Structure 1
Amino acid sequence: MISGDTADREIVVSRLINAPRELVFEAFTEVRHLEQWWGPAGFSTKTRSFEFRVGGDWDFVMHGPDGTEYQEWITWSEIDAPARISMVHGESRDDPNAFASLLTFEPDGEQTRIVMRAVFPTKELRDEAVEKYHAIEGGEQTLHNLATYVAELTGKDVD
């Protein structure tokens, strides 16, 4: 869970998505959707196991455009459908560098504002994620992919 003063350890990205909150939430919580859009531009995702429930895991591999494979693991720590999801994200279940994330889904008329807030264990790990792995741009690209995918489902324009 995210609490306290975390400004020097966090990354926040958000996007307005041209779809109702329930659909945006579903796209984040069903593996058949996630594998279609998850990750930055040029990445693809292959799931090894997925169980969306508090305490459940998503074990997956992200394939980078250069062929690099990134082992990834998420466990869901809170689910309040369709408003918010809390999770821990790392390379494996026992990753000492795993970070906490809070996703909020806020209705905005016919659209949904999604906010992804990641809090790292240390400022140094946050800085490494930003500088080495381009986490801010990657988060923005991931939300763009989500917006594009949901637009394909609804037949609406991507905002």
Structure 2
Amino acid sequence: MPEGLKLDAPRLEDGSAMWRIARDSRVLDLNSSYSYLLWCRDFSATSVVARDGDGGPVGFITGYLRPEQPGTLLVWQVAVDHSQRGRGLAGAMLDGLFARVAEQSGADRVETTVTPDNAPSNRLFTSFAERHGAAAEREVLFDGEVFPESGHEPEVLYRIGPLTPEPAPGAAQR
């Protein structure tokens, strides 16, 4: 965990900061501000925020347990404030979130989707699987043509698991 930061479950009052971080990323699909508020209310147990020394959110991951596969944590969005990039925060949030969800629910798998051109996210999930000694399967979940706007990249589904909450012994740490 980067020095001076701590992980926490999101609270309702974090929703506006999460929306701002997502907006300022200029990479994520921006959801409505209302959806971030709902996420903080309804999915705080399967999401995480990173807080700075003043308690303000500087990064977040939103996730949920898949209804038909409750042992699978679906990671919806990962975002890190520009001021905190390059410090390993995304990986620390993902490790911390998975450990908490696994302990509370018994989850042993992670899924997410990433566009092929999103190199940082592709590295994040590949290195997460490596740290945990888990297989990572990839396949196109949604072709670009199914999106209503033109030019959307395909969304590649990562299926990672089975996992253990702690990285595998001898796994490279970042």
Tell me which interval the TM-score lies in, with the shorter structure as reference length: 0.3 to 0.5
Structure with higher RCO (Cα < 8 A, 6+ apart): 1
Compute the TM-score of the two structures, normalised by the length of structure 2. Answer: 0.31
Higher helix share: 2
Compute the TM-score of the two structures, normalised by the length of structure 1. Answer: 0.33
